[in-house]
Amino acid sequence: MKDDQDDELAIFGGNPVRKNLLSLAEPIIGEEEIIAVEEVLRSGWIREGNNVKDFERKFSKYVGSKYAVAVSSGTAALHTACSVCGLKEGDEVIVPSFTHISTANAVLYVGATPVFAEVDTMTYNIDPADVANKITKKTRAIIPVHWGGHPANMNVLNEIAEQNNLIIIEDSCQALGASIGSKKTGCFGAVGCFSFYPSKIITTGEGGMIVTNDEDIYENAKLFRNYGQKWEQRFSHSILGYNYRISEIQAVLGLKQLDRVEDIITKKILNSKKISKGLESIEGISAPTTKPDCRHVFVHYMIQVDENEFGLKRDFLVEALNAEKIEARFYIPPVHLQPYYINRFNYKEGYLPETEKISKRVLTLPCSAALSESDIWDIVLALTKIKGYTYGK
C-alpha cells in the first residue's frame, strides 16, 4: 500500500466508470407530488392547515402511535422531545457519539449534558452494555439513534430504562419504516423523532415529526412548536415555545410521499441486497449487516474498509470512487471529537475507542430507491476496478 496515491487517483478520474455522477441519495418525487403542491399554491392557504393535520394523522397510523406532531426539521423534533420530556440543566442524557451532531445538540439546547456511549461495531447503534456503565445519579434519559435505518437494540435498552427510571427518546430520523418484529421504530420510547430531509426515506424538503402515545407530551409538543400558544388561544403563551411549524406545502408533499413509502423501502432493501451480493468477492470490504428480527431500511448503505486487505486507505478510496463518478462519503466524525465538544468538555481521542475506530473505517455508498441495475453494477465495477488497480492487476 502506498502513502502517496495522487497519481493513481488521477488515472481513475481520467477514465471513469460513469459519465455522470451517481449521487448518494435521490428523493423520489413524482407527478402526484407536483400536482398536489401546485393545488396548495393555487388555494391561497399556505400556512398550517388541514393538510398538516391530515399528514399527522396518516403518519401516526403508519408508525403505530396514538399521536404525531409535525415540526420544521428532525433537529426541531429532537429539541421539542427533550423539552416536553422535562430534561433540564443538571440532567445527563446518554447518547451515541456516532451520530449526527443534532442528537447531542438537542440535549444542550435544554441545558442538559450529553454523555457519550460506545456503539455496536456491526450496526453502529448505541451499545446497551456501555449505556449501563454510563448511568449515574444525574442520568435522566437515553437517546438511541437508529443509525442508517437499522433499529437499535430497543428491547435491552427499554429494560435498562425501566430498571433505572429513565426516559427513552428515539432518534428515528434515519429509520422511518424500520422495525423490530412487528413494531416500528419511534414507538418503543416516550417519544420518537423523525426527519424528512431530502436524503431520508420520504421528504418534505425540510421537516420532521415527533410521535408519542402520551397525551400530555402530545399537547405540550403542539404548544412548543407554536410559540407556546394554542391555535384557539392566539397570543396567550403558556410555555416558552419556538416557531417549529411546517407549511401546507410541506404537509401535502409528505402526504403524497407516505403513499409511496413502502415501495421506496422495498426498493432500497432490494438494492442493498444486490450491492452486497456484488461486493462479496472484494476482499477488504465488509457490507452492512441486519440483525435477526430487524427491518433495516438503508437510509445509508455503509461499508467498512480494511485498508490492509483492500490495499487502499479509506480516505483515498472515497476520492477514487468520486473520481469514478460514484459519490462516496466519510460518515461520520464522532461528535465528542467535534471542535465545539472538545473545547467545551475537553474530550480527547481514546475516550470511545470503538466509535473512533469505526469512524475511520466506514464510508457510505449510493443506495437510493432510484438506483437502476446499471447503477448497481457501476458501484460494484468501480470498487472492483480500484481494488484491482491497487494490486497492479
Per-residue pLDDT of the chain (393 residues; tens, 9 = 90+): 444 454 555 556 568 899 999 999 889 999 999 999 999 999 999 988 999 999 999 999 999 999 999 999 999 999 999 999 999 999 999 999 999 999 999 999 999 999 999 999 999 999 999 999 999 999 999 999 999 999 999 999 999 999 999 999 999 999 999 999 999 999 999 999 999 999 999 999 999 999 999 999 999 999 999 988 877 767 778 888 999 999 999 999 999 999 999 999 999 999 999 999 999 999 999 999 999 999 999 999 999 999 999 999 999 999 999 999 999 998 789 999 999 999 999 999 999 999 999 999 999 999 999 999 999 999 999 999 999 765 544
Q: Who's near 316: CB < 8 A, 6+ residues apart?
A: 5, 9
Q: Who's near 28: CB < 8 A, 6+ residues apart?
A: 257, 260, 264, 368, 369, 370
Per-residue pLDDT, 32 = 96
Q: Who's near 267: CB < 8 A, 6+ residues apart?
A: 369, 371
User: For residue 46, which amino acid is it?
Assistant: I
- At residue 89, the 3 state secondary structure works out as coil
Is the pTM higher than 0.85? The answer reads yes
User: For residue 372, which amino acid is it?
Assistant: S
- Per the CB < 8 A criterion, the answer to whether 349 and 42 are in contact is no
What DSSP line would sit under 135-157, residue for residue?
A: --TTEEEE--B-GGGPPP-HHHH
Per-residue pLDDT, 235 = 75
User: For residue 67, which amino acid is it?
Assistant: Y
Dihedral of alpha carbons 64, 67, 72, 75, sign: negative
> b vs e for 329-368, b when ≥16 Cβ sit within 10 Å of the residue's Cβ?
bebbebbbbbeebeeeeebeeebbeebbebbeebbbbbbb
- Per the CB < 8 A criterion, the answer to whether 97 and 352 are in contact is yes
Per-residue pLDDT, 389 = 67
Task: For residues 107 and 96, give the distance between their C-alpha atoms in angstroms, rounded to a whole number.
Answer: 12
- Per the CB < 8 A criterion, the answer to whether 241 and 224 are in contact is yes
| Residue bearing cell 423523532 | 193
- Per the CB < 8 A criterion, the answer to whether 386 and 322 are in contact is no
Local structure of residue 324 (DSSP, 8 states)? T
Per-residue pLDDT, 1 = 46
Per-residue pLDDT, 279 = 97
- Per the CB < 8 A criterion, the answer to whether 16 and 389 are in contact is no
What DSSP line would sit under 180-203, residue for residue?
A: ETTEETTSSSSEEEEE--TTSSS-
| Residue bearing cell 433540564 | 88
For 3, counting Cβ atoms within 10 Å of its Cβ (0-12 exposed, 13-18 middle, 19+ buried), the class is exposed
Q: Which residue segments constitute the domains of the chain, with CATH numbers given?
A: 6-19+261-328+366-390 (3.90.1150.10), 31-259 (3.40.640.10)
Give residue-wise pLDDT tens across range 67-104: 999 999 999 999 999 999 999 999 999 999 999 999 99
Task: For residues 393 and 391, give the distance between their C-alpha atoms in angstroms, rounded to a whole number.
Answer: 6
Per-residue pLDDT, 14 = 66
Give residue-wise pLDDT tens across range 141-162: 999 999 999 999 999 999 999 9
Per-residue pLDDT, 332 = 83
Counted residue by residue, the chain has a size of: 393
| Nearest C-alpha neighbor of 59 from the set 229, 212, 174 | 212
- List the grid coordinates of 195: 426527519
Per-residue pLDDT, 13 = 57
Beta pairing partners, 391: none
- Per the CB < 8 A criterion, the answer to whether 361 and 305 are in contact is yes
